[in-house]
Structure 1
Amino acid sequence: MTHPTLAAGQVERHLRARRDTGRRLLMPYVTGGITPGWTDYLKAFAAAGADAIEVGLPFSDPTLDGVTIQQAGDTALARGANTRRILADLSEVRDLGVPLVVSTYYNLVLHDGPEAFCAALRRAGAGGLIVPDLPVHEADELVDAAAAAGIEPALLASPATPQPRLAEIASRSRGFIYAVSLMGTTGERAALAASAAGLTERIRHVTDRPVLLGFGISTPDQAREAGRYADGVVVGAAVMRRVLDGAGPEDLRAFVATLRQALDQE
């Protein structure tokens, strides 16, 4: 049964429509299965003004994740979280009004095969997919499988990505471009990386697809600054640190609301 949260293929249309009103986009992240009743965080994010929500499928060897997201993944795995259980939980979520974007490593995609994996995402109500360890020159099989299932794969671009490859990433991505603000892992930072502005400018030379900036955006002030360059921000470690410290859905609603307010002031 098709999930009512979002029809197939509409992540990009949703984000573009909001961006085109002048709104800066906000995508908070949560590790699936991190707590009992973890999907209540999704409802809190939507209530706080998120424009999309990233749901991470925990993996035992998360090469691009920093300490906080690694700890969150370990906690979820210790609770018995796995892809099927997380997607089953997602399938019970209704009427968020914003797209769900699943993120994970390619090993988990290969476990069932790209076709079956993407079909399972769609049945669970997800509209987008991020696979950070999949380079664009190896992405054809997954991109084709995703298209067949109505899933929009967003590829990553970093400050070190050469311009010709950046154009290829922009061409192959759907939904949005995930701009990695710095060379390194996820995690909270004291300041927005200086490389963020240049990267987003280079992406804009090759596409008008929405650009979301992630890695290291931790505070409302950093979100506001990032919103001067990109169409929106992804906030993960700052959210998950609060969850690991015991914050409940209402606490996270309040935090995400401060990010929303900061972006709206830009």
Structure 2
Amino acid sequence: MSTVDTVTTAAGVAVGPRLRERRDAGRKLLVPYVTAGISADWTDFLTAYEQAGADAIEIGLPFSEPMIDGPTVQEASERALHRGATVPGILADLRRVRVDVPLVVMTYYHLVARDGHARFCAALAEAGVRGLIVPDLPLEELSELEQAAADAGVDLTLVAAPSGTPSRLREIAARSRGFVYAMTGMVTTGERTELPASAAEFATRLKTHADLPVLLGFGVSTPEHAVAGAHAADGVVVASALMRRVLDGAGPADVGAQVAELRAALDAAQG
């Protein structure tokens, strides 16, 4: 058994099996986000999210040029970078944390390429991270990272945009691992007053191509949004609405309560 195999089987919760199991049991999935390093106690948000009913947690690695992130997550990244957050430091923090939900890192390709695909993915696995999203890496250039992630036991989740052709969406659905991340629209991340009317239609269309759970993100900001998005999709990702609270001074308990409200709304809609 390789070193990578050893660490990935020893730590971390696998993304695909957990989310598929919960989806198949009839649960709508909730994946809240936190920017790593945004505060000294940032890993406490992981515990708070787990206790609030998160099915997985997305962790954003702060980056100076976040192409698809809107102003809230950009500000969160800037705060983390000003605090001195680095990838090695973030992974060291994660190695000291144990939560019983899958952890999925969202990052940009520059940070992956800087360390090398295999080394980066192995470091994630060693820290208990079992999922990876790299939204700025084109599908046509994915193969090397795809193999490195698979070798490390890390699910490489792909992002699907409503502008994608049917053939491209089929390929994304076939090659994605863990889940398929469906964008609500051709927008950056950010808080919204309402979800685009086309978001539900896109999630429904994407589910015809995907056996994996399809999660809707980019602008899901309120319990009402979560219920509407999850009605068509298998669940939702919530990021900017949570990070706005953190930027405004809310701590893990307060933001955990916000996640609990989202969980309660999804469960009530199912009941």
Task: Calculate the TM-score normalised by the size of structure 1.
Answer: 0.97
Q: 2:204 aligns with which of 201, 205, 209?
A: 201
Q: In the alignment, is the contact (CA less than 8 A) between 1:24 and 1:231 conserved in 2?
A: yes
Of 174-183 and 189-198, the range deviating more from structure 2: 189-198
Q: State the number of aligned residues.
A: 263
Q: Secondary structure at the match of 2:211?
A: coil
What does 1:216-235 correspond to in 2, within 5 Å? 216-235=219-238
Runs (5+) with no aligned partner, structure 1: none
Match of 2:7? 2
Amino acid corresponding to residue 41 of structure 1 in structure 2: F
Q: CA RMSD in A?
A: 1.1
1:21, CA displacement in angstroms?
1.0
| Deviation digits for residues 147-202 of structure 1 (CA, Å, limit 9, x no counterpart) | 00000000000110111000110111000000011111000000011121121122
Match of 2:188? 185
Amino acid corresponding to residue 145 of structure 1 in structure 2: A
Counterpart-to-counterpart distance in 1, 2:259 and 2:114? 34
- The alignment-based identity, stated in percent, is 57
Amino acid corresponding to residue 180 of structure 1 in structure 2: M
Counterpart-to-counterpart distance in 2, 1:224 and 1:49? 15
Q: Secondary structure at the match of 1:261?
A: helix
Amino acid corresponding to residue 254 of structure 1 in structure 2: A
Q: In the alignment, is the contact (CA less than 8 A) between 1:186 and 1:216 conserved in 2?
A: yes
Counterpart-to-counterpart distance in 1, 2:198 and 2:142? 25
Counterpart-to-counterpart distance in 2, 1:257 and 1:128? 23
Amino acid corresponding to residue 231 of structure 2 in structure 1: R
Match of 1:69? 73
Q: Does 1:165 align with 2:168?
A: yes
1:5, CA displacement in angstroms?
5.2
What does 1:133-148 correspond to in 2, within 5 Å? 133-148=136-151
Match of 2:87? 83
Q: Secondary structure at the match of 2:58?
A: strand
Counterpart-to-counterpart distance in 2, 1:259 and 1:184? 22
Counterpart-to-counterpart distance in 1, 2:149 and 2:194? 35
What does 1:1-266 correspond to in 2, within 5 Å? 2=7, 6-7=12-13, 10-94=14-98, 96-266=99-269
Counterpart-to-counterpart distance in 1, 2:216 and 2:49? 18
Task: Calculate the TM-score normalised by the size of structure 2.
Answer: 0.95
1:2, CA displacement in angstroms?
3.1
Runs (5+) with no aligned partner, structure 2: 1-5
